[in-house]
Amino acid sequence: MKRRNLKYRINWQDTWNEMRKERMIKPQISYDADFFKKTAQGFSMRIKFNDYEFGRKTTGILSEILADNFEVLEIGTGPGTLTIPLSKRVKSIVGIEFSKINAKNLKTNLEEDKLDNVEIVNKDWQEVDDDEIKGKFDLVVCSHFLWQVDDVERLLERMENASKKYCAVIQPCGRDEIVKEMFERLTNKKYTGQFEPDADYFAYVILREWGRLVNVRYLDYIHERNLEEEIRYMAGFIGKFMEIDKAVKEMMEKYLLEKKEEAMYREKSSAVVLWWSPDGRRG
Ligand SMILES: C[S@@+](CC[C@H](N)C(=O)[O-])C[C@H]1O[C@@H](n2cnc3c(N)ncnc32)[C@H](O)[C@@H]1O
């Protein structure tokens, strides 16, 4: 793919490396031995909220470019947040997912909706052979995946290599206030973006430097969690900075119950959809 040869480029790499170091720490959780299993299971349940609202709205935005005969490559499907609604709109999807439990949950979710046009590849994306996928797909997409790679520029390069028409990146925008409050309360540190999900602007800078004309759209969606799920959600972030043992878990529970008396915790969030054509065309 053609690139601009620029004398000056923004040095985003140092910031990316520092931010990623914090994001990729495994949380220290000792209050529940099944924490990670329950988190994966809860994730698979939650994506179905409002009939896959996040994935449906993303698919709606991508409908500007989608066609019924599209063959899609999705990297890091999770339990099918985007995969399930997208598979109803296109011919087929190859979904790369390296977590056994997420791949299994995706299989179950596909069966539940009687969808048979998704091939699940339970493999590490880093081990996929670029020559085998070169120019094979109408759309190459990843949703909430950017932090998973150490080299984001290489990811975008490899996505373009696999695409014959379009690429798309979807990423949540901002973190809800209550988790930031909890972080400050428990760690006595100021929240300075330690777990903001927005990695999209790195992608935007790189793509614009390459000369791509990137389309940007936003969507809103709702999260709903019960008390235990809300604690697990928060522990997943705060546990990167301190151990979450039974005593800390109880403090979280007490604070959440003081804050809200309802059984469910609802939050409105936003996400950004970036899509572009590797050949530099606008649409
Ligand atoms: C934050 S989740 C996002 C899942 C889903 N796309 C979504 O939008 O909700 C990231 C997913 O990427 C998967 N993943 C991370 N690194 C991967 C890799 N190198 N190869 C394949 N899958 C990977 C994780 O197992 C996880 O399911």
Bridging pattern class, strands 71-75 and 137-143: parallel
Q: Which two tokens stand for residue 100?
A: 């056994």
Check pocket membership of 122 for ligand 1, CB cut-off 6 A.
no
Number of CB atoms found within 10 A of residue 37's CB: 11
Check pocket membership of 184 for ligand 1, CB cut-off 6 A.
no
Under the banding of pLDDT at 50, 70 and 90, the label for residue 260 is: confident
pTM of the model: 0.95
For 13-276, CATH number out of 3.50.50.60, 1.10.1740.110, 3.40.50.150, 2.60.40.10 equals: 3.40.50.150
The CA distance from 102 to 122, in Å, is 9
pLDDT tens for 93-150 read: 999 999 999 999 999 999 999 999 999 999 999 999 999 999 999 999 999 999 999 9
pLDDT tens for 151-199 read: 999 999 999 999 999 999 999 999 999 999 999 999 999 999 999 999 9
Check pocket membership of 54 for ligand 1, CB cut-off 6 A.
no
**Dist. CA 6 → ligand 1 center (Å):** 32
Strand partners, 233: none
Q: Whose CA is nearest to atom 23 of ligand 1?
A: 76
Q: Which two tokens stand for residue 74?
A: 């999705």
Tell which residue, 120, 146, 139, has the closest CA to residue 204.
146
Number of CB atoms found within 10 A of residue 187's CB: 13
Check pocket membership of 92 for ligand 1, CB cut-off 6 A.
no
